[in-house]
């Protein structure tokens, strides 16, 4: 698993609302049984709750999605399905959002 990969969410309880998870955890910690992720949801369903710096827009295929970095979570690595895309090109935006959650700046 690579940092900033977007994975299918295999958790049957949450995958309808949250079809993807973006892996934000550093690869140096890949031996851990958990991964720090942010939920990735279709933008069309969540326009009113998006704060641009906190919720970067991520294209998955031809559909705009939003990474809800405000909802960071550690999840078992086993619920991450196959990587369907990469958000490496949005590294700065995702780290800025994470920094805002953790430091307020």
Q: What is the pTM of this model?
A: 0.94
Q: How many CB atoms lie within 10 A of CB 13?
A: 9
**Closest by CA position to 56, among listed 94, 88, 5, 3:** 94
In total, how many domains does the chain have? 1
Q: Which residues contact 25 (CB under 8 A, 6 or more apart)?
A: 3, 32, 35, 36, 37
Residue range 12-68, pLDDT digits in tens: 999 999 999 999 999 999 999 999 999 999 998 877 778 899 999 999 999 999 999
pLDDT at 89: 97
Overall average pLDDT of the 79-104 stretch = 97
CATH number of the domain that residue 44 is part of = 2.30.30.110
Show the domain range for 57: 5-103
């Amino acid at each position: 698993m690579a940092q900033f990969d977007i994975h299918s969410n295999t958790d049957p309880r949450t995958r309808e609302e949250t079809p993807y998870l973006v892996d934000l955890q550093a690869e140096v910690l890949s031996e851990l049984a958990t991964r720090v992720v942010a939920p990735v949801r279709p933008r069309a369903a969540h326009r009113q709750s998006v704060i641009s710096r906190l919720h970067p827009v991520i294209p998955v295929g031809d559909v705009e999605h939003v990474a809800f970095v405000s909802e960071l979570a550690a999840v078992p690595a086993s619920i991450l399905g196959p990587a369907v895309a990469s958000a490496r090109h949005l590294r700065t935006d995702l780290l800025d959002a994470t920094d805002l959650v953790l430091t307020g700046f």
